[in-house]
Chain A
């Protein structure tokens, strides 16, 4: 029990790893046993993260559940874990999606099942480690570790061009990661020069970068270099235009569970990195900062619109959803670099939303792929007739993804646009174009696949969802409605760390607006909640000075 209460994060982190090691001892010839053990540890991984919900208090300043142990004293690297509101939500997303992804592979994967579940569990550990670690060395280790299982997941169980997609994913992400390593080392070295202490501790280093005492060492020019060093790793991961081309290949060729985890969690590692590491590295000089922000906002907007436009003429369902991820995460980065509380909190929430809705979308496509072994839109048509329940859930997921009020996407997109509108109305305008295009491709896809009469005879008798598929999809639907109708508890987790970040990174925001700006975030959410629960028509852009 002591282990549990004092080392909860380690328990959550290593449960999947223990599952992977346990699976190594299961004989190769019994796939059913592999499935059982894999799912057991997937569910267990979620179960051990539930105490976090119970004991993590929203509004807590700093990092909770910290664990800090010696690891490599001669380098200054420690085993330091800790979470704040943002990483808490991402960890819960990881454990839930991980459990559902493992469950969804039950009948999809028939060959080499042992390795499959081992790799999924290893991947789970890697992702959890990235969100939890507060030590740069540890963070980098987990960041790189999860590349290998993902490579194998795509390369072994993927579709026709899997080898190309897998190595492209690996090499592209690796190129960004090594530049990030150099950034980390430069940060470490300069801090040692400034304070005389060699450490990889994240809170210490990030506080030092922003500390005016050390501004002789951490000049704006250095901070700019560090920013760009870290930028590539996160931009490739998110993915931002023009570093996005690995994503469509990786998503299309990966197996369903691989795509779910890739879209649902892996992409969030990039945005998490931007929030946690890149924002403190922004130079304080307004001109330099404005230039950097400008570049990033432009890239985000291009990503939003470009990603959405390319979706319109895709023939492959998974490729379409992959590009839609580029578009949706463009919203998230828009929210981050608007540097306002609404933008940032909307971005975090939208990351969770994207994980839920795009994860669900990939599961939806996976259902069809399992039945027909094709992802081409032209192969389907009029499926609402043989699969009405599937049509209903698919519709809900589609609406969630495009940002319909009552569902989760609306809250996130609305808040982000609000945050961007405050800074620059043009940005919000371009962003809204992205929402329109989003509706276009998603609804058109839905229409082509589901509506009308059945176009191919082979689709006439497709079985509807079975129990396992319900079990996988319904939790996500439930979460979509929950966040859409009552996002307040989620925002409560986000507000405190967001406020802290904005205070440090963009203090002028609080100085220029009037006092209620402090509570602007909560009020914006209250407004958004009212807007969504009352009627869709009254969703006007509530300004931060409201009430």
Chain B
């Protein structure tokens, strides 16, 4: 017994430190599933508190990792981070920032879900367990350096989301969303798996650093530089297609409007924020480690996808009348901006991507949070007309909505503006003036549809819908997102430092 405890503790401080947050989340997820049996119907919301406790515990685990990482950084042997879990997981600054982001998003999603599920009469423990399991998947995606672990993480997250998006069993749209997400997700995960298998075939290893080395060598031996090898091309195209699907970039984005509209709104928020961020983390890891050598060649493909996303997202959003679909298209356009940071490829670009993702996470969460608040007894609240006269019915919600819309549009002094600033700066520094001009000009139509939301909330006469009432947990979530949206715009220094920390500075 004593030795069992000792060996567990030894494992936690040793090889297992790298997956400590994931393990804690797993424990709490399973605990929720068991605990749920003991609860009565009207006590089910206690699962939410257990889930929050799990998030808090996981962040303690993350904190331990940070402490160890900061110590190890000075050691040149381990300068790039903590390896663990049989050398398949790497804990470095990159992972730490993303993990913190995932945990924050999970906490916000939990806070927003409590009342929402009560109103939908679907308050069950599995929901929170699935949220935590999705978070585990995301963390593995951000920390994995092995193709298999990355794929496992991706699938864990995806499967949780397939179920969560269909969670409103009696709602046809929710079922439809789940079906589409599942089928298309399986399709593109298949493509991704094919790409991974090609990468394995090239290098006889699933460690992405080794795969990257083999690819670089292969590209050197074949004529010229850049992707002149069919195998590399196929691998790159299939891997990126699979990942473009997850981040909802054009032309792999079409699941997003339907799934965002049908899924329960807290899940929409969570998918939009956390799934996208995790997929970006995975994408960044792969692009820098595996395909780093052929950046000059693949940047054109990424630029094309980025511009297509910007165009499609902005144009389609202009005439939307459903807020969730509008936000879905708007997040497609944000993906375009983030990908442009990758096209730039320089330090400002990569730091800018992380900054943008942090800002994007909080402002999108905040915007969806307002939509969650709109959900009242007898009112679904996700159409633009439901917002009419919000300034009178709930001035706080209307003001928050305004600030989030301004942040999404990129108007100073909000976080969204500073994120866009970094992207423009990186494009100018890497001599892509045309892309910079295009990206800048797309702010104009984007503002139009964000302000359609504002017009309904502030400039129209109130409808006779019930006044939205904010619960305390929703208020906490809104407060946190508001704080980051404004603080990262008025005083971006600490957030910029966080973004740099992700790259080891």
Residues of A within 8 A of B (CB): 28, 71-75, 115, 140-141, 144-145, 147-148, 151-152, 155-156, 163, 167, 170-171, 174-175, 178-179, 181-182, 185-186, 188-189
Q: Which residues of B contact A145 (CB under 8 A)?
A: 411-413
Is B393 positioned at the interface, with any CB of A under 8 Å from its CB? Answer: no
Among A71, A147, A181, A186, residue most surrounded by chain B Cβ atoms (within 10 Å): A181
CB of A178 within 8 A of CB of B458, answer no
CB of A163 within 8 A of CB of B496, answer no
CB of B428 within 8 A of CB of A178, answer no
**Interface SS, B side:** helix
CB of A152 within 8 A of CB of B458, answer yes
Is B451 positioned at the interface, with any CB of A under 8 Å from its CB? Answer: yes
Docked Cα-Cα span, A141 to B491, in Å, equals 12
CB of A74 within 8 A of CB of B458, answer no
Is B204 positioned at the interface, with any CB of A under 8 Å from its CB? Answer: no
CB of B500 within 8 A of CB of A178, answer no
Q: Which residues of A contact B395 (CB under 8 A)?
A: 28
* Contact A74:B493 (CB < 8 A) given known A179-B437, A185-B425: yes
* Contact A74:B500 (CB < 8 A) given known A185-B424, A189-B428: yes
* Contact A174:B443 (CB < 8 A) given known A181-B424, A185-B428: yes
Q: Which residues of B contact A141 (CB under 8 A)?
A: 412-413, 417
CB of A181 within 8 A of CB of B440, answer yes
Among A73, A145, A182, residue most surrounded by chain B Cβ atoms (within 10 Å): A182
CB of A167 within 8 A of CB of B448, answer yes
CB of A174 within 8 A of CB of B455, answer no
CB-contact partner of A148 in B406, B429, B459, B492, under 8 A: B406
CB-contact partner of B444 in A171, A182, A185, A186, under 8 A: A171
Docked Cα-Cα span, A399 to B451, in Å, equals 41
Docked Cα-Cα span, A147 to B429, in Å, equals 28
Give A178's nearest chain B residue, CB to CB.
B440
Is B441 positioned at the interface, with any CB of A under 8 Å from its CB? Answer: yes
Q: Which residues of B contact A182 (CB under 8 A)?
A: 424, 428, 433, 436-437, 440
Q: Which residues of A contact B425 (CB under 8 A)?
A: 185, 188-189
14 A-B pairs with CB atoms under 8 Å apart are: A71-B491, A72-B491, A73-B493, A152-B458, A155-B455, A156-B459, A167-B448, A170-B447, A178-B440, A179-B440, A179-B441, A182-B437, A189-B425, A189-B429
Q: Which residues of B contact A185 (CB under 8 A)?
A: 421, 424-425, 428, 436
Q: Using an 8 Å CB-CB cutoff, how does the interface string of B406-441 with A read, 1 for contact, 0 for none? A: 100001110001000100110011000100110011
Q: Which residues of A contact B437 (CB under 8 A)?
A: 179, 182
CB of A144 within 8 A of CB of B411, answer yes
* Contact A171:B411 (CB < 8 A) given known A148-B406, A152-B458, A185-B424: no
Is B78 positioned at the interface, with any CB of A under 8 Å from its CB? Answer: no
Docked Cα-Cα span, A194 to B412, in Å, equals 28
CB-contact partner of A178 in B429, B443, B491, under 8 A: B443
CB of B444 within 8 A of CB of A174, answer yes
Q: Which residues of A contact B421 (CB under 8 A)?
A: 181, 185
Docked Cα-Cα span, A156 to B412, in Å, equals 22
* Contact A174:B412 (CB < 8 A) given known A181-B424, A185-B424: no
A141 to chain B, nearest CB (A): 4
Q: Using an 8 Å CB-CB cutoff, how does the interface string of B97-139 with A read, 1 for contact, 0 for none? A: 0000000000000000000000000000000000000000000
Docked Cα-Cα span, A185 to B433, in Å, equals 11
Docked Cα-Cα span, A147 to B448, in Å, equals 13
Q: Which residues of A contact B424 (CB under 8 A)?
A: 181-182, 185
CB of A75 within 8 A of CB of B458, answer no
Docked Cα-Cα span, A151 to B433, in Å, equals 30
Docked Cα-Cα span, A189 to B443, in Å, equals 22
Q: Which residues of A contact B451 (CB under 8 A)?
A: 151, 167, 170
* Contact A186:B458 (CB < 8 A) given known A141-B413, A174-B443, A178-B441: no
Give B500's nearest chain A residue, CB to CB.
A74
Give A187's nearest chain B residue, CB to CB.
B428
A387 to chain B, nearest CB (A): 34
Docked Cα-Cα span, A151 to B402, in Å, equals 12
Q: Which residues of A contact B441 (CB under 8 A)?
A: 175, 178-179
Chain B interface size range: 20 to 34
Q: Which residues of B contact A144 (CB under 8 A)?
A: 411-412, 417
Is B169 positioned at the interface, with any CB of A under 8 Å from its CB? Answer: no
Docked Cα-Cα span, A170 to B500, in Å, equals 34
Top 9 A-B residue pairs of the complex, sorted by shortest distance between their CB atoms: A178-B440, A141-B412, A144-B412, A185-B428, A74-B496, A175-B444, A72-B493, A189-B428, A155-B459
Is B13 positioned at the interface, with any CB of A under 8 Å from its CB? Answer: no
CB of B440 within 8 A of CB of A147, answer no
B442-498 with Cβ < 8 A to chain A: 443-444, 447-448, 451, 455, 458-459, 491-493, 496-497
A391 to chain B, nearest CB (A): 37
B460 to chain A, nearest CB (A): 10
Q: Which residues of B contact A179 (CB under 8 A)?
A: 437, 440-441
A265 to chain B, nearest CB (A): 19
Give B455's nearest chain A residue, CB to CB.
A163
CB of A163 within 8 A of CB of B459, answer yes
Q: A72-B491, A152-B458, A181-B421 are in contact. List 9 more A-B contacts (CB 8 A).
A: A72-B492, A74-B500, A115-B391, A141-B417, A145-B412, A148-B411, A181-B440, A182-B428, A189-B429
* Contact A171:B448 (CB < 8 A) given known A75-B492, A144-B412, A152-B458: yes
* Contact A72:B496 (CB < 8 A) given known A147-B411, A163-B455: yes
B401 to chain A, nearest CB (A): 13
* Contact A178:B493 (CB < 8 A) given known A148-B406, A156-B459, A185-B428: no
Q: Which residues of B contact A188 (CB under 8 A)?
A: 425
B359-415 with Cβ < 8 A to chain A: 391, 395, 406, 411-413
A111 to chain B, nearest CB (A): 11
Q: Which residues of A contact B411 (CB under 8 A)?
A: 144-145, 147-148
B479 to chain A, nearest CB (A): 16
Q: Which residues of B contact A186 (CB under 8 A)?
A: 428, 433
Docked Cα-Cα span, A73 to B417, in Å, equals 17
Q: Which residues of B contact A174 (CB under 8 A)?
A: 443-444, 447
Give A73's nearest chain B residue, CB to CB.
B493
Docked Cα-Cα span, A178 to B442, in Å, equals 10
Give A192's nearest chain B residue, CB to CB.
B429
CB of B413 within 8 A of CB of A75, answer no
A513 to chain B, nearest CB (A): 40
Docked Cα-Cα span, A188 to B440, in Å, equals 17
B92 to chain A, nearest CB (A): 20
Docked Cα-Cα span, A170 to B443, in Å, equals 12
* Contact A171:B458 (CB < 8 A) given known A141-B413, A144-B412: no
B333 to chain A, nearest CB (A): 15
CB of B497 within 8 A of CB of A74, answer yes
Q: Which residues of B contact A156 (CB under 8 A)?
A: 458-459
Docked Cα-Cα span, A174 to B444, in Å, equals 7
Q: Which residues of B contact A28 (CB under 8 A)?
A: 395
Docked Cα-Cα span, A140 to B489, in Å, equals 13
Q: Using an 8 Å CB-CB cutoff, how does the interface string of B132-157 with A read, 1 for contact, 0 for none? A: 00000000000000000000000000
B247-265 with Cβ < 8 A to chain A: none
Q: Which residues of B contact A178 (CB under 8 A)?
A: 440-441, 443-444
Q: Which residues of B contact A74 (CB under 8 A)?
A: 493, 496-497, 500
B443 to chain A, nearest CB (A): 5
A175 to chain B, nearest CB (A): 5
Docked Cα-Cα span, A167 to B455, in Å, equals 10
Give A193's nearest chain B residue, CB to CB.
B429
CB of A75 within 8 A of CB of B444, answer no
Q: Which residues of B contact A71 (CB under 8 A)?
A: 491, 493
B453 to chain A, nearest CB (A): 13
Docked Cα-Cα span, A171 to B451, in Å, equals 10
Q: Which residues of B contact A148 (CB under 8 A)?
A: 406, 411
B458 to chain A, nearest CB (A): 7
Q: Which residues of A contact B496 (CB under 8 A)?
A: 72, 74-75
A232 to chain B, nearest CB (A): 11
A144 to chain B, nearest CB (A): 5
Q: Which residues of B contact A73 (CB under 8 A)?
A: 493
